[in-house]
């Protein structure tokens, strides 16, 4: 009776209560969903920002220079041995600079302009060519095409990242009058109306004045800077090329928002780089130097080879120390150790070690290996040993889990046919647990490969320009290189750092992929 009454007549209050409870239930589910989306979103933003930056560093611009390898310059009397040629950076550099000077005769003897044009190539960029010529001495005196990377700021400009600019077509120019000192008056019906509109968007009405945006006008290989503008005409200061070029077709106007004084590249450098591009002498090519060069103070020459080799050497030491010790310790604890206080103490130690902050291992390495044992600073040997101490608890924990998963029937079977404890473990249990042990070890190594902090403390942060050849050479590793590059102030290091991160993540991905593969292939459920 009472039940029926309750069912048929729910009070208004209880209906309201029920509605509220259902709404709360609905909301609660969406809190969870939101949390997942926030976490995944953060991951996506991280990967996308770094990935997109890295894509821009995957290619770079190189300039081709047709040069004659004049023996008087690159192999002068008394310095013509292959070794001298490979060291003659100054000689090769002067070939490149002279090539630029003949391409842009307006530079002349002006010291300011000479400096601006020498920024196009850094001296060290000719080193690969010098080495090549040293190997093939028959090239001396021949004409060759020398390629050298473009200055990093100009490279960024060509990629559309360094300087914010807006490109607009100008109208056909019907008259070009020559004014004083390289200035020209250009006119045509409504030729600059579009540019005026563009300037209005940028909230300025005049170019020219210091601190205002610059307007560059280019036609073919020629570029000039506008110094006065109205809808039908403009006054232009020619930066490079010939004024006649502007009479053909429709020139392109570039409104560059930031004034010249706030940029790392000048208007004239932009004009030159546009001219070289128009001449077809600039190519955008894959940046293999990221993998084949070592660290440099010039972004366009910097690469990660030394760090990659350093990481591999360090990992080699870590693997050689942490894997045997970790695996054997796990075998002992899982298969042999009597249940007593010593064993328990060891287990507590291992669990705690796995959670000790990595930087503490760095302090241990600095105090023990460097200060007490007098090992060399910055060496993969010390780095590897520090990381080994950090990794081996991880290896132990994973290996024990793998050993534990082997069913006791395997052990009983082996013991029953007369195998000793040692034979049972090493002939039967360990081989069955091997895939699990290996995956645990690889995961531990992957963690060590990404570790930075402890290596900073043992001095692996120093600039290393040479590829280390032995574990006691001065060296750096990938994560530390990323850290050093991220600390560089120049804008062009950002894409490079991202690219290096992608290289590191690729290594980690391969290692984790290997783990997934091993698990898929060998995992057995008993």
Partner 1 sequence: MLQQLGQLPMGLLLIALIAVFGSAAFFLGRVRAERLLVATTSRMHSRPNYHGYYVAMWATVPVVIVAIAYAIFAEDLTRIQLTRELPSSFARLSPVELQSYLESVRMAAGTAASAGADRVFQAITNRYLELRGLINTATLVLLGLMAAVGIFLAQRRLKPDFRARALVENGMELVLFVCAGVAIATTAGIVLSLLYESLQFFQKVSAWDFLTGTRWNAQTEAEFGALPLFFGTFMIALIAMLVAAPIGLFSAIFLSEYASPRARAWIKPILEILAGIPTVVYGFFALLVVAPAIRSAALWFNETAIQLGLASEPILAAQPTSALAAGLVMGIMVIPFVSSLSDDVINAVPQTLRDAAYALGATKSETVKQVVVPAALPGIIAALLLAVSRAIGETMIVVMAAGKSARISMDPTSDLTTITVQIVSLMTGETGFDDPKTLSAFALGLVLFIVTLAFNVVALRVVKKYREKYD
Contact present, 400 and 328 (Cβ < 8 Å): no
What's the rounded Cα separation, in Å, for the pair 396 and 293? 38
Ordered strands of the 183-187 beta sheet = 165-169, 252-256, 214-219, 222-229, 233-240, 183-187, 175-178
Q: Which is nearer to partner 1, 353 or 401 (CB)?
A: 353
The conformational region for residue 365 under phi > 0 = left, psi -120 to 50 = alpha, else beta, is alpha
The distance of closest approach from Cβ of residue 312 to partner 1 in the complex, given in angstroms and rounded to an integer, is: 16
Q: Which is nearer to partner 1, 101 or 501 (CB)?
A: 501
Q: Which is nearer to partner 1, 216 or 327 (CB)?
A: 327
The distance of closest approach from Cβ of residue 225 to partner 1 in the complex, given in angstroms and rounded to an integer, is: 32
The distance of closest approach from Cβ of residue 154 to partner 1 in the complex, given in angstroms and rounded to an integer, is: 22
H or E segment at 175?
Answer: strand 175-178
What's the rounded Cα separation, in Å, for the pair 333 and 343? 7
Q: Which is nearer to partner 1, 107 or 477 (CB)?
A: 477
Helix pair 493-522, 305-331: axis angle to 10 deg:
30
Output the 3-class SS for 100-118.
HHHHCHHHCCCHHHHHHHH
What's the rounded Cα separation, in Å, for the pair 443 and 397? 11
What's the rounded Cα separation, in Å, for the pair 471 and 387? 14
The distance of closest approach from Cβ of residue 349 to partner 1 in the complex, given in angstroms and rounded to an integer, is: 5
Q: Which is nearer to partner 1, 51 or 232 (CB)?
A: 51
The distance of closest approach from Cβ of residue 18 to partner 1 in the complex, given in angstroms and rounded to an integer, is: 9
User: Measured between alpha carbons, how far is residue 499 from residues 36, 41, 156, 303, 396 in Å?
Assistant: 28, 21, 15, 10, 34
Extended beta strands in 442-504, E state? none
The distance of closest approach from Cβ of residue 21 to partner 1 in the complex, given in angstroms and rounded to an integer, is: 6
The distance of closest approach from Cβ of residue 359 to partner 1 in the complex, given in angstroms and rounded to an integer, is: 5
Q: Which is nearer to partner 1, 241 or 304 (CB)?
A: 304
Q: Which is nearer to partner 1, 129 or 492 (CB)?
A: 492
């Amino acid at each position: 009776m009472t039940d029926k009454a309750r069912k048929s007549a729910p009070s208004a209050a209880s209906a309201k209560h029920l509605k509220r409870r259902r709404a709360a239930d609905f909301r609660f589910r969406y809190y969870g969903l939101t949390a997942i989306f926030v976490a995944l979103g953060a991951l996506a933003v991280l990967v996308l920002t770094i990935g997109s930056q890295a894509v821009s560093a995957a290619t770079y611009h190189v300039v081709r220079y047709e040069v004659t390898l004049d023996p008087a310059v690159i192999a002068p009397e008394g310095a013509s041995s292959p070794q001298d040629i490979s060291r003659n950076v100054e000689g090769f550099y002067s070939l490149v600079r002279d090539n630029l000077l003949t391409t842009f005769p307006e530079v002349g003897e002006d010291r300011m302009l000479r400096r601006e044009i020498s920024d196009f190539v850094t001296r060290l960029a000719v080193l690969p060519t010098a080495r090549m010529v040293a190997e093939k001495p028959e090239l001396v005196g021949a004409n060759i095409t020398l390629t050298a990377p473009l200055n990093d700021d100009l490279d960024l400009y060509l990629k559309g990242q360094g300087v914010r600019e807006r490109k607009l077509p100008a109208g056909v120019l019907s008259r070009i009058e020559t004014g004083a000192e390289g200035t020209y008056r250009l006119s045509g019906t409504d030729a600059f109306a579009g540019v005026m509109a563009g300037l209005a968007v940028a909230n300025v009405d005049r170019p020219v004045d210091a601190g205002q945006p610059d307007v560059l006008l280019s036609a073919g290989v020629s570029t000039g800077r506008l110094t006065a503008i109205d809808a039908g005409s403009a006054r232009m200061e020619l930066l490079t090329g010939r004024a006649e070029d502007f009479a053909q077709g429709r020139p392109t106007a570039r409104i560059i928002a930031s004034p010249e004084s706030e940029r790392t590249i000048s208007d004239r450098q932009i004009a030159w780089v546009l001219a070289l591009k128009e001449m077809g002498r600039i190519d955008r090519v894959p940046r293999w130097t990221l993998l084949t060069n070592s660290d440099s103070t010039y972004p366009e020459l910097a690469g990660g080879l030394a760090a990659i080799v350093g990481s591999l050497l360090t990992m080699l030491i870590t693997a050689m120390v942490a894997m045997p010790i970790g695996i054997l310790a796990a075998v002992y604890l899982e298969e042999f150790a009597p249940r007593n206080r010593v064993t328990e103490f060891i287990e507590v130690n291992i669990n705690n070690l796995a959670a000790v902050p990595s930087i503490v291992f760095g302090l241990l390495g600095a105090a023990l290996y460097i200060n007490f044992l007098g090992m060399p600073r910055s060496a993969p040997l010390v780095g590897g040993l520090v990381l080994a101490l950090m990794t081996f608890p991880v290896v132990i924990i994973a290996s024990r889990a793998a050993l534990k998963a082997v069913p006791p029937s395997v052990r009983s079977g082996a013991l029953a046919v007369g195998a000793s404890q040692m034979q049972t473990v090493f002939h039967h249990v360990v081989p069955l647990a091997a895939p699990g042990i290996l995956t645990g070890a690889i995961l531990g190594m992957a963690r060590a490969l990404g570790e930075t902090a402890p290596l900073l403390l043992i001095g692996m942060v120093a600039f290393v320009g040479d590829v280390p050849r032995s574990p006691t050479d001065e060296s750096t590793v990938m994560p530390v290189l990323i850290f050093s590059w991220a600390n560089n102030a120049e804008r062009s290091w950002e894409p490079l750092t991202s690219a290096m991160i992608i290289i590191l993540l690729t290594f980690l991905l391969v290692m984790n992929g290997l783990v997934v593969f091993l698990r898929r292939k060998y995992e057995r459920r008993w």
